[in-house]
């Protein structure tokens, strides 16, 4: 071992079968030290990658002393192909966003040694030469290098590369590069396409089918709504302590995510937000960032609220996943000095609000002791979540995020034409279980139904991990979305769905799209025993108007229920896996929603989406309250597609804000009183006060000249 060993493998083929001879030789003399043979090896078994394995016996599972190492190894031979473009590292991957002429990019590094460079450089070409614009220090915990470049010229594509110097172990440094393109802000494109994902487990790794489909579709933005990793990814389980080893354990899984999608991230802006499994929870109620009580583990810890993992570990997770997002609206940390990332992003004429559903949300168990909560499920069968679950003090988004949403709804600057909210999950609970079941631990054991089958006695359930609870907080969140005429895109539920929120009445608020999981470990379903009200005659019985298990009004338009296919592996094919595509048409303000199975090629003629899709809505459909009065018709000249903001003059509360199509708009109001109208664009606005409504539309006019 001290002088090295040369391994030589000799295949001798005969009629599609091979005799393999493997010999270990002295590299200097050529003496054969040992030799083994294997006969009748099929030729197809010789295709694949070569792997070096250290498998010394008797070392002990917990012994951290290496059994051996490989140093300065080389391979050669006529049967060996080399693909240097497939090398993974030392710059593993990067993610970026571009908003308001600010570029933020995070380079993900492996653990590097003290003799290696501690910074990464961001370079662009100027006058034919690569020029470093910024250097970023590698974060000790997250192993990330985060860049922020202001006043970015966003009207053109810019080729860039990341540069890093690695010590090669023989006293020399070698420079490695990872190249990509920062795309121009597509404000001049009529159609902006967003690809949305959730639930990236390792069944199906490396998800080449998903990667190839998205590469062909070439969307403008990628959105990963959570569970980018799961605790058990790659079969290693989860190491939770000590904290440094726990960080490396997470990074091992996070690197696989970058391996899967990193080539898309080179030249596509992307948004990723961590959910419960990303922070090693089955469910998480962040409760403002507090720590779970000491001594508790598993469901007991989760139900108490807060984070099980140390705050420095949680912050490390967030740096890997969110440090490339636009700066947070209010960067003040929550409890334990855990950072926040909720923010706004303007790209391609679409204004996005990025939320944190989990961080501020209350834990149900301390607030609902009589319900006997286990992992968010009431075990007291005499307790009614719809009637008893909405208690004072229960928080969903929290005051900070509601304030952000209110300001975001009023801000239509930087070419904003349509608004959309991105979050971990939707504000309702679309799931059913048999009437005999009161916990979703039965979900993976339920038989996947054949197409056309329907269970006999499923009922809507009350899973407090969904954002259907708490109901008052849910109502505030839905109302905040509605004020911006915003579509809601989210994930987490594993079950793809397209619904319309209801507050006082069915269908009086925004639409919501929950995308299906890439790899579905928890195949929820929606098969309510009672058919939905007011559904189309030809529509499935699981569509229409419903109350979820918390009593929230919702209208179901489409659901991607799991269906038995007979294909293997069934855990991948039968669980309605896939992703979402949303196309925003800025001229018409129409929004197309597509829900694709992961095994379909969306670019081929005849490819089929999940039943019920595609669906087209209009931006204006996201505010569907019945008006009880009308202000004078706004008629604008000298300004194209102005922004109109309506306020209650007495309270200064925003009623709604929207960029209209054209130059005429009839502002509806919903109760008597006096109102304030603000009309304009960017920084040029005019304000009109003391306006009272009429009972009929178009009785009066408000002529505004710019």
pTM for the full predicted model: 0.95
pLDDT of residue 86: 85
Smallest Cα–Cα separation from 159: which of 177, 136, 137, 138? 177
| pLDDT at residue 686 greater than cutoff 70 | yes
Residue-wise pLDDT tens digits, 405-463: 999 999 999 989 999 999 999 999 999 999 999 999 999 999 999 999 999 999 999 99
Q: What is the mean pLDDT of residues 23-38?
A: 94
Return the axis-axis angle of helices 471-483 and 398-410, rounded to nearest 10°: 20
Name 605's Cβ contacts closer than 8 Å, sequence gap at least 6: none
Smallest Cα–Cα separation from 218: which of 604, 602, 605, 610? 602
pLDDT of residue 419: 98
Are residues 688 and 644 in contact, defined by beta-carbon separation less than 8 angstroms? Answer: no
pLDDT of residue 4: 85
What letter does residue 304 receive in the DSSP assignment? H
pLDDT of residue 56: 61
Q: Name the pairing type of β-strands 578-585 and 418-422.
A: unpaired
Q: What percent of the chain is modeled with pLDDT above 70?
A: 98
Distance CA 228, CA 303 (A): 23
pLDDT of residue 348: 98
Helix (H) or strand (E) holding 278: none
Are residues 302 and 360 in contact, defined by beta-carbon separation less than 8 angstroms? Answer: no
| pLDDT at residue 61 greater than cutoff 70 | no
Are residues 224 and 214 in contact, defined by beta-carbon separation less than 8 angstroms? Answer: no
293-300: long-range contacts (C-beta < 8 A, 24 or more apart)? 299/374, 299/375
Distance CA 333, CA 342 (A): 11
pLDDT of residue 54: 72
Residue-wise pLDDT tens digits, 192-213: 999 999 999 999 999 999 999 9
Q: Name the pairing type of β-strands 221-224 and 270-272.
A: parallel
pLDDT of residue 57: 61
* N- to C-terminal Cα separation, the chain: 83
Helix (H) or strand (E) holding 131: strand 129-137
Distance CA 493, CA 54 (A): 40
pLDDT band at 62 (very low <50, low <70, confident <90, very high): low
Residue-wise pLDDT tens digits, 294-341: 999 999 999 999 999 999 999 999 999 999 999 999 999 999 999 999
| pLDDT at residue 60 greater than cutoff 60 | no
Distance CA 167, CA 441 (A): 49
Residue-wise pLDDT tens digits, 84-136: 888 899 999 999 999 999 999 999 999 999 999 999 999 999 888 999 999 99
| Measured CA distances, 399 to 418, 477, 489 (Å) | 24, 10, 21
pLDDT of residue 84: 86
Distance CA 221, CA 439 (A): 36
Q: Name the pairing type of β-strands 633-637 and 643-648.
A: unpaired
pLDDT band at 171 (very low <50, low <70, confident <90, very high): confident
SS3 110: coil
Among positive and negative, which fits the CA dihedral 425, 428, 432, 433? positive
pLDDT of residue 71: 75
pLDDT band at 236 (very low <50, low <70, confident <90, very high): confident
Distance CA 383, CA 634 (A): 51
Q: Name the pairing type of β-strands 32-42 and 17-25.
A: antiparallel
Helix (H) or strand (E) holding 483: helix 471-483
* φ/ψ of residue 341, rounded to 5: -140, 5
Distance CA 220, CA 193 (A): 5
pLDDT of residue 66: 67
Residue-wise pLDDT tens digits, 390-400: 999 999 999 99
Return the axis-axis angle of helices 311-322 and 243-265, rounded to nearest 10°: 10
pLDDT of residue 595: 98
Helix (H) or strand (E) holding 535: none
- Does 9 or 616 have the greater pLDDT score? 616
| pLDDT at residue 590 greater than cutoff 80 | yes
Distance CA 427, CA 393 (A): 18
Question: What value does the mean pLDDT of the chain take?
Answer: 95
Q: For the purposes of burial, counting CB atoms within 10 Å of the CB of 359, is it exposed (0-12), middle (13-18) or buried (19 or more)?
A: buried
Q: What is the mean pLDDT of residues 474-491?
A: 98
Q: Name the pairing type of β-strands 553-559 and 497-502.
A: antiparallel
* φ/ψ of residue 297, rounded to 5: -135, 170
Q: What is the mean pLDDT of residues 47-56?
A: 78
pLDDT band at 59 (very low <50, low <70, confident <90, very high): low
Distance CA 532, CA 499 (A): 12
pLDDT of residue 579: 98
Helices (H), strands (E): how many in the chain? Answer: 9, 37
């Amino acid at each position: 071992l001290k002088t090295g060993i040369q391994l030589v493998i000799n295949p001798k083929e005969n009629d599609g079968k091979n005799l393999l001879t493997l010999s270990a030789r002295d590299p200097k003399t050529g003496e054969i030290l040992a030799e083994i043979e294997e006969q009748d090896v099929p030729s197809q078994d010789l295709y694949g990658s070569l792997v070096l394995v250290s498998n010394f016996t008797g070392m002990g599972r917990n012994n951290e002393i290496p059994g051996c190492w490989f140093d300065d190894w080389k391979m050669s031979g006529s049967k060996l192909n080399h693909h240097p473009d497939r090398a993974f590292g030392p710059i593993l991957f990067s993610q970026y966003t571009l908003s308001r002429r600010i570029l933020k990019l995070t380079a993900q590094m492996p653990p590097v040694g003290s003799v290696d460079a501690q910074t990464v450089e961001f370079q662009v070409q100027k006058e034919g030469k690569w020029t470093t614009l910024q250097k970023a220090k590698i974060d000790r915990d997250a192993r990330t290098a985060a860049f922020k470049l202001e006043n970015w010229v966003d009207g053109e594509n810019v080729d860039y590369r990341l540069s890093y110097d690695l010590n090669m172990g023989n006293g020399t440094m070698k420079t490695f590069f990872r190249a990509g393109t920062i795309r121009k802000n597509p404000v001049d494109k009529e159609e902006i396409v967003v690809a949305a994902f959730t639930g990236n487990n390792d069944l199906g790794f490396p998800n080449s089918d998903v990667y190839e489909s998205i590469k062909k579709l070439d969307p403008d933005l990628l959105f990963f709504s959570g569970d980018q990793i799961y605790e058990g990814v790659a079969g290693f389980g989860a190491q939770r302590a000590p904290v440094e080893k726990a960080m490396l354990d997470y990074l091992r899984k996070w690197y696989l995510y970058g391996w899967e999608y990193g080539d898309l991230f080179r030249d596509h802006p992307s948004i990723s937000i961590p959910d419960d499994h990303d922070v090693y929870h089955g469910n998480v109620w962040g409760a403002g960032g507090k720590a779970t009580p000491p001594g508790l583990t598993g469901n007991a810890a989760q139900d108490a609220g807060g984070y099980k993992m140390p705050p420095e570990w949680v912050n490390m997770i967030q740096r890997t996943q969110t440090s490339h997002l636009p700066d947070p609206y209010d960067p003040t940390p929550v409890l334990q000095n855990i950072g926040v990332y909720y923010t706004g992003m303007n790209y391609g004429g679409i204004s996005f609000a990025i939320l944190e559903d989990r961080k501020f949300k209350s834990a149900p168990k301390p607030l609902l002791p009589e319900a006997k909560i286990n992992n968010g499920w009431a075990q007291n069968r005499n307790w009614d979540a719809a009637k008893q679950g909405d208690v004072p003090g229960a928080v969903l988004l929290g005051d900070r995020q509601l304030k952000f949403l209110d300001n975001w709804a009023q801000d239509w600057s930087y070419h904003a034409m349509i608004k959309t909210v991105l979050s971990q999950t939707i504000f309702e609970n679309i799931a059913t279980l048999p009437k005999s079941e009161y916990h979703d631990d039965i979900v993976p054991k339920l038989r996947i139904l054949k197409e056309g089958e329907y269970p006999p006695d499923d009922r809507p359930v009350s899973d407090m991990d969904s954002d259907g609870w708490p109901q008052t907080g849910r109502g505030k969140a839905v109302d905040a979305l509605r004020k911006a005429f915003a579509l809601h895109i989210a994930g987490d539920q594993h079950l793809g769905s397209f619904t319309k929120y209801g507050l006082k009445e069915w269908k009086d608020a925004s639409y919501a799209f929950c995308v299906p999981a890439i790899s579905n470990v928890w195949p929820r379903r929606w098969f309510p025993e009672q058919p939905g009200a007011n559904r189309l005659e030809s529509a499935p019985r699981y569509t229409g108007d419903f109350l979820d298990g918390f009593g929230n009004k919702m209208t179901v338009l489409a659901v991607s229920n799991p269906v038995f296919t007979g294909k293997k592996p069934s855990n991948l094919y039968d669980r309605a896996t896939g992703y979402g595509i949303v196309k925003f048409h800025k001229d018409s303000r129409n929004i197309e929603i597509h829900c694709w199975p992961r095994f379909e090629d969306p670019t081929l003629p005849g490819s089929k989406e999940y039943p019920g899709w595609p669906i087209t809505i209009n931006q204006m459909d996201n505010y569907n309250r019945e008006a009880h009065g009308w202000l004078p018709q706004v008629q604008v000249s000298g300004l194209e597609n102005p922004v109109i903001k309506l306020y209650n003059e007495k309270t200064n509360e925003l009623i709604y804000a929207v960029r209209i199509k054209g130059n005429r708009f009839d502002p509806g109001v919903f109760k008597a009183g006096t109102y304030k109208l603000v009309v304009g664009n960017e920084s040029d606005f005019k304000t009109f006060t003391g306006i009272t409504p009429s009972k009929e539309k178009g009785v009066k006019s408000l002529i505004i000249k710019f």
